[in-house]
Amino acid sequence: MPVSKRFVRVRRVFRKIRWAGVVLAAGKSTRMKSSLPKVLHKICGAEMIRFPLTAVWGNGVDDVVVVVSPDARQLRALLKDTVEYAVQNTPRGTGHALLQAGPLLNKRMPAPQSRSAFDHILVLNGDLPLIQKATLSRLMLQHISSGCAMTILVAEITRPEGYGRILRDKNGDASKVIEDKEADEKQQAISEINVGAYCFRSDWLWQEIKKLKPSASGEIYLVDLVESAAKSGGVYTVQTTDASEAIGINNRVQLADAEQVIRRRIRERWMLDGVTIMDPASTFIDNSVKLSQDVTIHPGTHILGKSSVGPNTSLGPYALIRDSKIASSCTISQSTIEGSVIEDGVDVGPYCHIRPGSHIEKHVHLGNYVEVKNSRIGERTQSGHFSYLGDATIGKDVNIGAGTITCNYDGTAKHRTVIEDSAFIGSDTMLVAPVKIGKGARTGAGSVVTHDVLPGQTVVGVPARPLEKKSKR
């Protein structure tokens, strides 16, 4: 039967098969030299464990068990009830870790049944952030197609140090995986390595895993099942099309290597979706960011956290956007925006800092060295130069003169400043909060405003007083 027709048939069968997933995440952070569990170290703004889990869920495997250490409070707080947890009380290797998931996966079948509740088990190391959904899909399909008891993901890499090597018999079939620390000189020269992703026929797995014996180090290796499968149910190997998927994270050098790969994938995905990135090498985009078509990103720009950017917006050069929503047709140059909302047509920078809690309405202009904190600025308002607007509510069509400061802190508490529509704030005005500037009111240059200003009124001086009207001759 032609390969394409065979896979169509396999896919139809595949939909009826009951799969469970197991992610092994009980390892310590010893080589990371960190108090934070290894799988919680972040890559492109997301915890490492999220990447393999997303790939598993992406293949329709909803029943997932994560094997954790007894002190996995942080990991449980992160994943909550999206998975089930099996505890490996003593770190005795990957084979022992998988064995801990057995009771959870088998409890779902009524007691009289002797078989597992699932037909096949997908097992993945939790420190494989570069594994992709399509690769796991191919691994699972090949596993079903081959009919073998075990299918293993392998890769050819130029520097195999630290990885288990694939040993093959005279027929070219996988016969054993030898761990790096137990391999002799000839075996260490082998470039084909075990990635750390496996598929098992469930009935075979739970019988054979109980037979595994501890190694010389006392650990029970999951890969020892390869030798068992070679003698009984058969072993099938699937090679990665991208060798970078094999990068496992044991130290911060490998963490940085993985970060580079994922950042490249993120940039390429957005460019293929219609985003212009002038200099990909100097552009940093987190995994959780959402971009629209015709966004232009200039060199040195960072877009981080849960940020989104609307169409026809230009960012940078050297802009930093974190956890912010930026709408369409905005221009953000050499400025920092954190935890804020920027509406359509806003022009920011250079050298502005929009701090958390701010909301900038449509067609606002914020020029050089303007700092905004926890404030709302109304439509078409302009602040062109050197101003601090903190804890303020500013209306529409307001002009903020250069050097304006909202004096929001009295040494004990923060107070708000309110500036109503069409007000004109003169250069070097100090607005001592709490204070309200009425609609259409004006302040003279250098004024220190300590009391509310009525609508249409003009105040000048230190402290600011209403400007007296000249008498008619």
Q: What is the structure's pLDDT at 5?
A: 53
Cα(459)–Cα(442) distance, rounded to whole angstroms? 6
Q: Around Cβ 122, how many Cβ atoms within 10 Å?
A: 24
Q: What is the structure's pLDDT at 111?
A: 45
Report pTM: 0.88
- Which one, of 44, 47, 50, 49, lies nearest residue 266 by Cα? 44
Q: What is the structure's pLDDT at 350?
A: 96
Cα 448–Cα 439–Cα 338 angle in degrees, nearest 5 = 70
Q: What is the structure's pLDDT at 461?
A: 95
φ, ψ (nearest 5 deg) of residue 10: -65, -40
Q: What is the structure's pLDDT at 113?
A: 46
253 to each of 74, 161, 197, 290, how far by Cα in Å? 23, 14, 22, 28
Helix (H, G, I), strand (E, B) or coil at 348: strand
Length of the chain: 473
Residue 375 in tokens: 């404030």
Q: Give 10-residue mean pLDDT values along the chain (473 residues).
A: 50 71 88 90 96 96 95 95 94 93 76 64 96 96 95 94 92 91 90 96 93 87 93 92 92 94 97 98 97 98 98 97 98 98 97 98 98 98 97 98 96 96 98 97 97 97 86 54
Show the domains of the chain with their CATH numbers. Answer: 3-252 (3.90.550.10), 262-466 (2.160.10.10)
Q: What is the structure's pLDDT at 472?
A: 56
Helix (H, G, I), strand (E, B) or coil at 377: strand
**Residue type at 379?**
E
Per the residue annotation, which of 353, 385, 415, 451 is the catalytic one? Answer: 385
Active site (annotated) includes residue 451: no
Query: Residue 97 burial (CB < 10 Å; 0-12/13-18/19+)?
Result: buried
H/E segment holding residue 371: strand 365-373
